[in-house]
Amino acid sequence: MKTILLLATASLLLAGASFAQTVAPGSLPSETPDVFKLATDRLDYERRDVMIPMRDGVKLHTVILVPKGVKRAPILLTRTPYDATAMTSINATTHLADAIDGYDHPVDVVIEGGYIRVVQDVRGKHGSEGDYVMNRPLKGPQNPTQVDHATDTWDTIDWLVKNIPETNGKVGILGISYDGFTTLEALFNPHPALKVAVPMNPMVDGWMGDDWFHNGAFRQQNMPYIYEQVGSRKNEEKWASGVHDDYDLFMRAGSAGALGSQMGLEQTGFWRKILAHPDYDAFWSDQAVDKLLGKEPLKVPVMVVAGLWDQEDIYGAAAVYKAIEPKDTANDKVFLVLGPWNHGQQIHDAASLGAIKFGADTALEFRQDVLGPFLAHYLKDDAPAMDVAPVTAYETGTNRWRKLEAWPSGCAKGCAITPTPLYLHAGFKADFVAPQAREAAGEATSDAYVSDPAKPVPYRARPSQPTGYVPPLTWTQWLVDDQREASGRTDVLTYTTNVLTAPLKISGEPIVNLTAATSGTDGDWVVKLIDVYPDEVPGDPTMGGYQLPVAMDILRGRYREGFAQAKPIKANAPLGYRFALPNANHVFLPGHRIMVQVQSSWFPLYDRNPQTFVPNIFLAKPADYQKATETVFHAPGKASFVELPVVGK
């Protein structure tokens, strides 16, 4: 034993002497290893970091998390620009549930289902090779290469099923927002091993109604996202405006284009494309995912998940469903979920949203009753039965889930949807009776206000928080903000019904029909459909008189004749403006009232309209911004109304 100890001591001394020889005199060796090897025996899963080759030689960084002991387990894949490593961090615990407790992971479904979780950096982002292109278009007119997200997904799935011995060879893909977009891209020429797709709140058409524009009005508060997402591979460049209130930031800059120049945003290719394509030209329409999917055969079961108060991508999910549902002739491949959620809330707590309480965790109900059984049915070897309706829609107002055969549909059987105009009237009244000839009674046939670009209507109470996910986080709630502040402004028209004596249910898209005039040659129209609570709400006094938005959106007036080409508006001429509001599935209860608000700015979420026609509003000069008198008509032959999809027996 003494001999062994002497030998060991000598070895340590020799090692120390050898190590000391590599250290410069007067310095200390680093105590940090070049590579730290994680002791993985304590974990309940195995982590594998791999670089998967694509058909063009580019390798994509992929994190594979395999629960220990699993055999013949399905794979749940997410492809993301948001850092696969950060999305699969250990969080100082030994459990897979904590490693994936963050963005884009329905944790309980993954863990209880025993799935192999795979998260991959898309090409050009974080650990992946290649070049990054925002929402890289499919191969075609806007992408002359031979690779896109569809081919990258095919190559990834092919590698996964051949190189993960614990899998049963079945793959599901899911994701939220951008990751919902990449989920949809997997449906183009899908790999045979792809058995199901769940796009949640997906980016689908950035011009029509998702992240970049809504009906032509630019969502300028997303400029920091563009800056950070495209500015560097690892999102290391941070938007630092130096201004606390975004209202002040965008007002001082003048136009979105001017602010982009001040911040150096023109260094990024995607911003230059936005500046060059303010209209809905081929650049945008060629890559609208709903339109492209409408031309594809339906091969993979799809569950499209939407939030009724999705503050970022409220357009895309419904548009995809509308495009692909007609292909589902057997009504067994296309599913839709409409939840009372903000953007991505379905994987978090959803017992409430802002001031609105639902009485139960609606997201947990969705994951347990819908998402979990749906994935298991298509991915598990024994294909357990599921009781998932073609449409699962939450009914706000009454706060209950409905199982439906299609959308829009007010109930399971025996009822119909009737387009019913809610007319605007003199005296700021609203009702379901069309305006009559009342000039003899001295009633006004129109209402007017002055829209001043120097004092645009805030889209929410100031200070305007940036659209990020940094505490204190209220950006996620703005679509349910109380609208009372706006209703008291002189540049907002507010029309209200009498108190309802019976419930009124709507299901589908309310359609705005304004007859309006502007003294300018351009202008925006913002219309809000609102549920006004009773003056007092027993048990919840803070909700007394609350003005809850049910559906709201904006139309840039220059596109009233078509989105492909902007045209000046004829000044002071009563013209028709027609556009759809986002989907609603809502019951206006007895004791409540229905309100419609009309205004011409929604700032700083959307850029200001100069109200003087210029070819490109991004390049508008200070002198272009002029006051305008906006007139909304409510006379026979010049009626203004919101067409409600009313559910009736």
Residue by residue, DSSP assigns 504-537 as EEEEE--EEEEEEEESSS--EEEEEEEEEPPS--
pLDDT for residue 413 is more than 80: no
- Tell me how many degrees the CA angle 166-169-171 measures, rounded to the nearest 5: 105
- Tell me how many degrees the CA angle 644-646-649 measures, rounded to the nearest 5: 165
> Which of the pair, 577 or 648, is modelled with greater confidence?
577
What are the b/e assignments for 120-145, b being 16+ CB within 10 Å?
A: bbbbbbbbbbbebbbbbbbeeebeee
Nearest residue to 158 (alpha-carbon basis) of 65, 297, 54, 76 = 54
**Is it true that 213-284 and 417-648 share their CATH fold?**
no
CA distances from 352 to 104, 306, 356 (A): 20, 16, 5
Residue type (1 letter), 296: E
Please state whether the predicted TM-score (pTM) of the whole model is above 0.85. Answer: yes
Domain 417-648 matching CATH 3.40.50.300: the answer reads no
pLDDT for residue 414 is more than 80: no
pLDDT in tens, 491-537: 999 999 999 999 999 999 999 999 999 999 999 999 999 999 999 99
pLDDT for residue 345 is more than 80: yes
User: Band of the pLDDT at 444, cuts 50, 70, 90?
Assistant: confident
Residue-range domain boundaries for the chain: 40-207+285-404, 213-284, 417-648
Instruction: Give the pLDDT of residue 104.
Output: 81
Which of 4-8, 265-269, 389-393 shows the lowest mean pLDDT across its residues?
4-8
> Which of the pair, 26 or 255, is modelled with greater confidence?
255
Instruction: Give the pLDDT of residue 442.
Output: 66
Q: Which CATH class is domain 213-284?
A: mainly alpha
Contacts for 234 with CB less than 8 Å, ≥ 6 apart: 83, 125, 126
CA distances from 190 to 72, 142, 153 (A): 21, 21, 8
Q: Which CATH class is domain 40-207+285-404?
A: alpha beta
Instruction: Give the pLDDT of residue 268.
Output: 97
Distance CA 148, CA 139 (A): 6
User: Band of the pLDDT at 269, cuts 50, 70, 90?
Assistant: very high
